[in-house]
Amino acid sequence: GAGVSQTPSNKVTEKGKYVELRCDPISGHTALYWYRQSLGQGPEFLIYFQGTGAADDSGLPNDRFFAVRPEGSVSTLKIQRTERGDSAVYLCASSSTPHNSPLHFGNGTRLTVT
């Protein structure tokens, strides 16, 4: 079956603009995660959804970042007033249950803020 799909694969935007990054998890996976990976670093946790609700958003860096998952499947990460420091690869992952299954990661969206 299909894996985790993220679109777009690349996004270039100007400082101050608003962007949306989309994640399509594996069908039936209830848990969904967003991570951010800066160049040369390991991924850093941003937010975790169980179903439609954000169960843990402790990794979001500030209030410019927001994520939704209205129907419990597709999720959108939204960044307002982008800054150059937001440039990174944004990774999405899903798992079939939140407590036992390994995470399946997508290929990520590379965001570049100019």
Contacts with other proteins, residue ranges (CB under 8 A) = 3, 31, 33, 35, 40-45, 48, 50, 55-56, 59, 89, 91, 93, 95, 98-100, 102-108
Would you list the DSSP string of 46-107? EEEEETTEEEE-TT--STTEEEE-TTSS-EEEEE-S--GGG-EEEEEEEESSTTTSPPEE--
Q: Least separation, in Å, of the C-beta of 4 and other proteins?
A: 8
Nearer to other proteins, 4 or 79 (CB): 4
Q: Rounded to an integer, what is the distance from CA 57 to the centroid of its chain? A: 11
Q: Least separation, in Å, of the C-beta of 22 and other proteins?
A: 16
Nearer to other proteins, 106 or 113 (CB): 106
Nearer to other proteins, 77 or 93 (CB): 93
Q: Least separation, in Å, of the C-beta of 45 and other proteins?
A: 5
Identity of the amino acid at 97: T
Please name which of 111, 36, 34 lies closest in space to residue 77, comparing C-alpha atoms. 34
